[in-house]
Structure 1
Amino acid sequence: PPNSTQLHPPIHQIIICGRYRKKARENGERLSIRAQTTMFVLTTVADTIRIPPQLFYLPTLDAVHDEIEKKYPNRVIMDVGLVVCRYGDALEVGDGVLATGDGGAHHEAVFRLVVFRPFVEEVLLGTVSESTEEGVRVSLGFFEDVFVPAYWMLRPSTYDPETGLWVWTPKYDDDDEGGGEG
């Protein structure tokens, strides 16, 4: 059975928080976006979920939920974002199909995911977890692996190997101290 992840046609994306709405048309046309001001979206995904034989004792819906929870969190879906978690019950779960040479049951499923999708140049609040000559690693709380490379640091920034920190020293035109009058 095919195991390609795709957005479920017609595409549906709704906003969990923020000041705008994305509208998806039932005929599958492109999404119309009014403004981009939120970083979390709820997206509907269709995928073939494989249930291994050791989970056959569970109700099908529970087994599908378990496998979605194993497969999707912390995974980036191209042009959608970073999956945070499954949202609610699966919307549709098809009958299981057994493939030759594979003991698992393959179910076509449609389900919703909470996705982290910040817009370009969005300012986020995070905690520096590591600082090296290559750049800075930042934790956002739910996601630990945000990496800011050295070439994205404010100019002029330098890495201080003694403290292990990046230092930004802005240059002021009015004086050498940078203090101003007073």
Structure 2
Amino acid sequence: MAYTLVTGGAKSGKSSFSESLLESNTDVCYIATSVMNYKDSEMETRIERHQESRPKNWTTKEQFLGIDELIYENHGNYSGFLLDCVTIWNTNFFYYLMEVELEIPLAEIDQVFEAYSGEERRNIEERIFDEWKKIVNALAETGAPMIMVTNEVGSGVVPMTLLGRWFQDLLGKVNQFLAKEAETVYFVVCGIPQKIK
């Protein structure tokens, strides 16, 4: 498998480290999954900081849908891809499924999800995993090198809501899947990367 997974806690230095792995490459495609569909000034500031830290000659694609298609269509145009980040991708895709495909108003998602049966929740999880499997397959079939950045969510506070706990569990499962399939895995702590696979 051609991709590397970089994990760590919030503000651990994982994004900076991931970018450093590709800093000698002039033709990198940076896949920024923090697509803003609503007003959040604090998140916008974070996005701007990330944008400013990237090499100016890299190409940025701001999207979370169709990542597998992006890889198939563009793998010959870049020496590598950097996807930042897995956690935000999961968040955006979950809300896309709920709002767009299931047509649930944003303000009602928590309440509706809490009333879901175990089977309905598993169906949502399966849809999310289907997308990750498509991305991993695209990387395997094209041989395109990619670095994925994710958050280590198992060392923090357990969320108070049912949706929050389900989502934290989902993120952990996705991380385990991606780490198992990855060629290399790094864990970043206090700005110090440790190669764990």
Asked if Structure 1 and Structure 2 have the same fold, meaning a TM-score greater than 0.5 normalized by the shorter chain, the answer is no
Q: Which has the higher contact order (CA 8 A, sep 6+)?
A: 2
- TM-score with structure 2 setting the length: 0.22
- TM-score with structure 1 setting the length: 0.23
Structure with greater Cα Rg:
1
Identify the structure with the greater strand proportion.
1
Identify the structure with the greater helix proportion.
2
